[in-house]
C-alpha cells in the first residue's frame, strides 16, 4: 500500500481544513515546495496535492505553488482541485504532473473523465468525496444524491488509474478513516482505491493495509502534527 503525503494549498500556503471547511484552515507552512522536498527526503514515492481555492473556483488558483513543487521534487505528484476541462488536464500533465484527479466533473461530466482516461492512460484518477455515502462536489460545498459505489462502478470500463475516496466527515478530524466504507468500495470495483480522510495514526495505516484490497492512503495533518512519522510509516508499509 502506497502512502501519499498530502499538501493542501490555499492562498499559496500549506494548510489543512477540518471537514472541508475553508474557514477552518490551519496553516502549516508558507513554502509548499520545501514541504514537498521534506516528504521526499523522508522517502515517499508519491506526493498528493490539492488546490483548495481551485476546487471552489472551478479553475486552477495555486498554479505557481504547484509548479514550484514539481520543480523541487523528483517523485510523481498527483493533483486535484479545479480541473474541469480537457485544456486544464492537458496543461497540468504537460507541466509534469504524473496524475490529475477529477472530482466534480466525474459527477457532472463523466464523458470528460472517459475521454481524458483514453487520451492519457494511467494518468487520470477520479476523486470521490462523500458524506454518509453520498457524493459531494465543488469543494464539498454541494451535496448530490449520487451514491459512492454507483459513481465508482460507472467508471469500471473507463481506464481510470485510481479512485481517491474521501470521507468528508473524517477529513482533518484526526478520528481515524472510515475503513469499513473504504474497504467495501475497494471490494465493489476493480479500480485501485486510495483512502483519504482521517488517517491519523500508524494503526490506521496498518488497518487499511491489512484489508488486503486498499491500494493507497493519503495523510496530511497527522504528518504535520507529528502523529505519524513519515519515514517510520513508509518503512512499516514496505
Q: Is 129 a catalytic residue?
A: yes
Triad 174, 143, 192: Cα angle to 5°: 60
What are the DSSP calls for 22-46, one per residue? EEEEEEEES-HHHHHHHHHHTT-S-
Q: Is 157 a catalytic residue?
A: no
Choose the catalytic residue: 51, 129, 171, 204: 129
What are the DSSP calls for the chain, one per residue? -EEEEEEEEETTEEEEEETTEEEEEEEEES-HHHHHHHHHHTT-S-EEEEEHHHHHHTS-S-HHHHHHHHHH--S-EEEESS--SHHHHHHHHHTT-SEEEE-HHHHH-HHHHHHHHHHSTT-EEEEEEEETTEEEETTTTEEEEEEHHHHHHTTTTTT-SEEEEEEGGGTTTTS---HHHHHHHHHH-SS-EEEES---SHHHHHHHHHTS---EEEESHHHHHTSS-HHHHHHHH-
Residues labelled as active-site residues: 8, 129
Amino acid at each position: 500500500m502506497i502512502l501519499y503525503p498530502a499538501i493542501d494549498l490555499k492562498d499559496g500556503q500549506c494548510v489543512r481544513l477540518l471537514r472541508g471547511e475553508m474557514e477552518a484552515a490551519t496553516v502549516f507552512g508558507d513554502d509548499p515546495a520545501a514541504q514537498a522536498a521534506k516528504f521526499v527526503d523522508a522517502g515517499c514515492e508519491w506526493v498528493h496535492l490539492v488546490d483548495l481555492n481551485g476546487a471552489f473556483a472551478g479553475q486552477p488558483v495555486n498554479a505557481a505553488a504547484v509548479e514550484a513543487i514539481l520543480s523541487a521534487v523528483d517523485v510523481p505528484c498527483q493533483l486535484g482541485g479545479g480541473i474541469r476541462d480537457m485544456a486544464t488536464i492537458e496543461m497540468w500533465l504537460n507541466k509534469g504532473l504524473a496524475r490529475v484527479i477529477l472530482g466534480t466533473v466525474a459527477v457532472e461530466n463523466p464523458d470528460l473523465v472517459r475521454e481524458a482516461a483514453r487520451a492519457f492512460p494511467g494518468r487520470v484518477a477520479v476523486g470521490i468525496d462523500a458524506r454518509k455515502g453520498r457524493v459531494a462536489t465543488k469543494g464539498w460545498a454541494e451535496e448530490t444524491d449520487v451514491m459512492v459505489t454507483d459513481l465508482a462502478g460507472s467508471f469500471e470500463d473507463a481506464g481510470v488509474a485510481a479512485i481517491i475516496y474521501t470521507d468528508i466527515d473524517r477529513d482533518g478530524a484526526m478520528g481515524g478513516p472510515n475503513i469499513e466504507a473504504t474497504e467495501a468500495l475497494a471490494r465493489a470495483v476493480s479500480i485501485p482505491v486510495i483512502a483519504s480522510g482521517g488517517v491519523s495514526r500508524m494503526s490506521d495505516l496498518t488497518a487499511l493495509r491489512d484489508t488486503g484490497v486498499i491500494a493507497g492512503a493519503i495523510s496530511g495533518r497527522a504528518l504535520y502534527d507529528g502523529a505519524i512519522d513519515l519515514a517510520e510509516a513508509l518503512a512499516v508499509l514496505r
